[in-house]
Structure 1
Amino acid sequence: MKTNKFNRREFIKKSSAGAVGFSVAASAKSYANILGANDRMNFAAVGVHGRGKALILAASQQKNTSMSAICDVDERESDIAGKFVKDKFGKKPKFYTDIRKLLEDKDIDAILIATPDHWHAPMSLMGVQADKHVYVEKPCSHNPREGELLVEARQKYGKVIQMGNQQRSGLISIQAMKDIQEGLIGDVYYGKAWYANDRKSIGTGKAVEVPSWLDWELWQGPAPREEYKDNFVHYNWHWFTNWGTGEICNNGTHEIDICRWALGASYPKTVASSGGRFHFKDDWEFYDTQVANFEFDGGKMLSWEGRSCNGLRQYKRGRGATIHGTKGTILLDRNNYIAYDNDQNVIKEMAAKDISATTDTTGVGGLDVYHMSNFINAIKDGEKLHSPIEEGHISTLLCHLGNISQRVGRKLNLDASNGHILNDPEAMEHWGREYAPGWDMKV
C-alpha cells in the first residue's frame, strides 16, 4: 500500500504540470480529500542573509506550511536565520551550505531562492531537476540564454517556477490592469518606469583573506573564479558583472514588467540605452544612471530611468510607473493607484491594504504574501500563476537587453518573436556567459 507521504508528493507533482497559464480540475476541496492532514507544503530557503528572510516571512503567513531547511554559504546564518525560522515556524530548520546536499532531501516540495543573481538560473534548474517547485527572485537569470533555459526546463520537468516580481500579485495592480483592459484610459501606448535611490560609493576593494564564516568557493558557484576582495559580500556584488546584473535588473525589472504588462506587449523590436557610472569613481562596474527605451510592434513603447545615487523622487515616489493612453494616464506603484483623465482630473484612486517597502534592500510587505500565496495555490490547486517563468523571462530579458545596448554603445534591432539581437555578432556575444568548470547549465 502507498503511504500518505507518497500520495502527497505524487499529487503535488502531478497537479503542478498544468499550473502555468490555466487552472487544472483539482479544487481545494478535492485536494484536501486526497491529502487529508498531510497537505503541508514543505519549503527550503536558499540565500537567507537579506531578501531570503522576506520570503521566509511570506511563507510563514500561509496556511499549513513548514520550513524544514535553509541554505547559505555564510555559516553565521545557521544561528541567525535558523532562529528567524524557528520564531516563525516553531522549529529550527536543518542548515546546509551546499545546495546540492539540500536538494537530496525528498521531503522538500519547493525551494525559495534569494541568492546573488549568478546563482538564480543554475539553482532553479537544479531545483526542478531534483523534483522541486521553484520560487526564484528577480532577475530570474544572469543573462538572456539562462532565461531561455529555464523556460525549456519548466516545459520539460513540469514544475511550477514563479519569479519574484511580486507586484504581479498586488490587488491594486491587478485592478489597474483590469481597468486598462476595459478602456479606462483608452488605448495605451507608452509606459514610463523609474527608480531613484541614494546609494553610497562602494570604494576600491582590497584583496583580503576570505572571512572564516564564508565559503567563497560555493559563493562563486557557477561563476568564473575571482580573488576575494573586501567590498564584494554581502550586497555590493550587484554592481560587478561576474555576479550581478546592475540596477536595471536589480530594481528596474519590477516596473519594466508592470509597464509591459499594462501595454500587453511581449518581446520588443528595438532597445536603446545610455548612461554611465557618473556619481562616484570606484569599483562599480555597471551604471548608476541609465535610461533605456524599448519599442514594440503595434506602436507601443516603454522607457526606464534609473538613478542609483541621486534619490530625487518622481511624483513623490522613489519608484513607480505611469501608463499613458489616449484618454488618460495611470500612476501605479506598489502601494497606490491613481487614474487621471486628459485634463489631469483624478477619475479613480486606490491604496493597498497591506503596505510594501519600496527602496530598501529587503522589500518586505503585503505583496510578498500575495505572491507566495499564488505560488502555493498554483502547486496545490492549479491556480493560474501570476508570474510564470515564461513571463518572468521576457521582462528580465528586456533588462539584459538594456545592459547589452549600453555595453556596445548602440541601438539594437531585435527579432520581435523571441527577443534575439539581429545582425550584431558583438552584441550577441553577451547572450550567454562562461561558467566555472563543471557548472554548465544543461536542461
Structure 2
Amino acid sequence: MTHRRTFIRQSSLIAGGLWLSPALLQAQQSIAPSDQIRVALIGANNMGFGILRHHLALPEVSCVAICDVDQNVLDKRLKEVEDATGKRPERYTDFRKLLERKDLDAVIIGTPDHWHCLITLAACEAGKDVYVEKPMANTIGECELMVKAESRYQRIIQVGQQQRAGQAFIESRDLVKSGYLGKIRKINIWSNFNYGLGNEFKPATPVPDGVDYDFWLGPAPKRDFNPNRFHGSWRHFWDYGGGLMSDWGVHLLDMAIWVEENPAAPSTVMTYAKNVNKENRDRDTFDTMNVLFPKKDFLINYDMNGGLQSGPYNKPYGIAYVGELGTLVVNRGGYEIYPEWDGTANAPKCEVKKLEGTKESHNLHVANFVECIKTRNQPNCPPEAGRLAALHAHIPNIAARIGAESLTWDDEKRQFIGNGAANAMIWPEYREPWKLPKV
C-alpha cells in the first residue's frame, strides 16, 4: 500500500483547484484510452460537484455522465464540465440508468445522506467503485450494509473523510502515536458554526420547475415541498441528515478514533443535547450538544454549538490531544503543541512544534481514491472506518432524540443494550417503492 505521504508529494504536482489548465488538458489527451478512469457524478449541487472537479484535475480521469433530479442543477453542471474540458458528459435523471453503462469505472455520490447506502450498493452490484460523501450513511444499519457490500462485491469504496489525507492531521496522528505528548488522557473536540442553527421558518411552496421532488425524497417519508428541506439545508432534518453532529462531528471524531491503538466503536456514550436557540428556527436536529465517549485508551469529549463562531484557542473548530507532556491542537489550517511545564527541571516537558498554512485535502483524498482504483489497495477511509466515525455521530443523535442521557452499544451484536427505543432507530424504514438493500 502506497504511503499517504507519497500521495502528498504526488498531489503537490496536481492543480487540484484549477478549472482546468491548458497543460492539464494536454496531459489528459496523452493518456491512452486503456489507462483512463471514467467517472460519473450522482448528486451535482454542491459538494458532489466539488469532488468531481478534484477528480478532473487528475490527468487520467474523465467524466462521462452526471445525474441529478434537479434539471436546473444538472444543466448548469453539464455546461461547466463541457466548458472546462471540451467534452459534455451524458445527462441522467435516474441513477439506475446511469449505472447500466459499461464504460464506467467509478461513481461519486454527492446526494443527501439518506441516499448514500442505496446508491452505493447499487453501484457496487453494477461493478463500479465508489467515492461517497460523509457521513457514510444516514443510519447505523445502512453503514453496516455498506461495509458488507465492499467485501461481497470487492469494490473500492472511499468515504469522503478527507482529513485522513491532510498533512496537519497525518503529522498530528504520528506525533500522538509516537508518544511525543506522553500518555494521552483525553481528546477535546469542538465545532461551533452559525449554520448549525438551521434556517428561519419559510412557508411551503410549489415544487420548483425542473425538480423531480418525489425522486429527491426517494426512500424518505412523503412530505410537502419546503425550501428549508431542500438544497443545502436538508441536513437539519432527520429524514435526510443528522445536523451539525453528523456533518462536522463525523470529521472531527474520526481524527480521535484514528489515534486509538485499535480503532473501535464506542461503548457507553453520554449525551446532553438541546435546542437553545428556538427563535423562528426550522429544524429537527440540535444546536447544542456535549458528548462523552469513554474509550479504552482515553476519553473523547465533544462540544458542539450551532450559532457560535468562536471556540478554544481562538478556533471555531478543532481537536486538542491532551497528553501528560503537552497538548497538541489541530485543525485544517495546521497544528501547534502547548507543552506542560516541569517545575523541577524548570523547563517545558516537550518541545514546541508548529505547522501553519495547510489547506483543505479533498484533492489528496481524491488522488488516493483514483490510485486505489488502479492498484486495488485499501483507500484512506474504507467503509469500516466510515462506519466507526458514523457510529460516534449517530449514537449521540439517537440518544438525544429518545431523551436518553446514556446509551450502551454492543458492537459485536450490532445493537444497544437494554433500550428498545434506541434499537428501533438502527434501521430506516424505506418508503415504497424503494426497498432497503440486502447484501
Say yes or no: TM over 0.5. Answer: yes
Query: Structure 1 residue 339: deviation in Å?
Result: 2.1
Aligned partner of 1:436 in structure 2 is 431
Matched, 1:208 2:205: yes
| C-alpha contact 2:156 2:376 (8 A) present in aligned 1 | no
The residue that corresponds to 1:165 in the other structure is 161
CA distance in 1, matches of 2:92, 2:33: 28
Normalising by structure 2, we get a TM-score of 0.86
SS in structure 1 at match of 2:248? helix
- Whole-angstrom distance in 2 between the partners of 1:337 and 1:400: 28
Match of 1:98 among 94, 101, 108: 94
The separation in 1 between residues aligned to 2:378 and 2:167, in whole angstroms, is 15
Q: Any stretches of 5+ residues in structure 1 without a counterpart?
A: 1-17, 22-34, 357-366
CA distance in 2, matches of 1:399, 1:258: 13
Alignment gaps of 5+ in structure 2: 5-30, 342-347
Q: Residues 88 and 176 from structure 1, CA distance in 2 versus in 1: closer, same or farther, beyond 3 angstroms? A: farther
Residue 279 of structure 1, CA deviation: 1.4
The one-letter amino acid paired with 2:172 is: A
Query: Aligned-pair distance for 1:170?
Result: 0.8
Question: Does residue 381 in structure 1 map to residue 375 in structure 2?
Answer: yes
Q: Give the TM-score of the pair, scaled to structure 1.
A: 0.86
Q: Is the 8 A contact 1:267 1:418 kept in 2?
A: no
With 413-422 and 104-113 compared, the bigger mean Cα shift is at 413-422
- Amino acid corresponding to residue 290 of structure 2 in structure 1: V
Q: Offset of 1:79 from its aligned partner?
A: 2.6
Counterpart residue number, 2:296: 297
The DSSP-based 3-state class of the residue aligned with 1:262 is coil
AA at the equivalent of 1:398 = H
Task: Measure how far apart 1:384 and its partner are.
Answer: 3.8
* Per-residue deviation, residues 368-392 of structure 1 (Å, max 9, x unmatched): 1100011111110234411001111
Change (3 A) 1:89 1:303: farther
Checking the alignment, whether the CA contact within 8 Å between 1:190 and 1:325 is kept in structure 2 is yes
User: Aligned-pair distance for 1:416?
Assistant: 5.1
- CA-CA distance at 1:230 after TM superposition: 3.3
Is it true that 1:59 corresponds to 2:71 in the alignment? no
Q: CA deviation at 1:134?
A: 0.5
Match of 2:354 in 1: 349
- Equivalent of 1:237 in 216, 234, 238: 234
Contact 1:268 1:419 (C-alpha < 8 Å) held by counterparts:
no
Assess if the C-alpha contact under 8 Å between 1:248 and 1:399 holds in 2. yes
Q: Percent identity?
A: 30
1:66 deviates by 0.2
| Match status 1:279 vs 2:277 | yes
- Counterpart amino acid of residue 164 in structure 1: G
- Distance in 1 (CA, whole Å) between partners of 2:186 and 2:244 is 22
Match of 1:348, as an amino acid? K
Q: Deviations over 1:193-221 (max 9, x none)?
A: 11111236523343322111211011011
Aligned pairs, how many?
A: 400
> What one-letter code is carried by the residue in structure 1 that aligns with 2:163?
Q
Deviation for aligned residue 1:78: 2.8
Q: Distance in 2 between matches of 1:423 and 1:407?
A: 17
Query: 1:405 deviation in Å?
Result: 1.3
Give 3-state SS (helix, strand or coil) of 1:315's partner.
helix
- Tell me the C-alpha RMSD between the 2 structures: 2.1
In structure 2, what is the Cα distance between the partners aligned to 1:141 and 1:193?
22
Deviation at 1:408, TM superposition (A): 2.1
2:316 to 315, 318, 327: 318
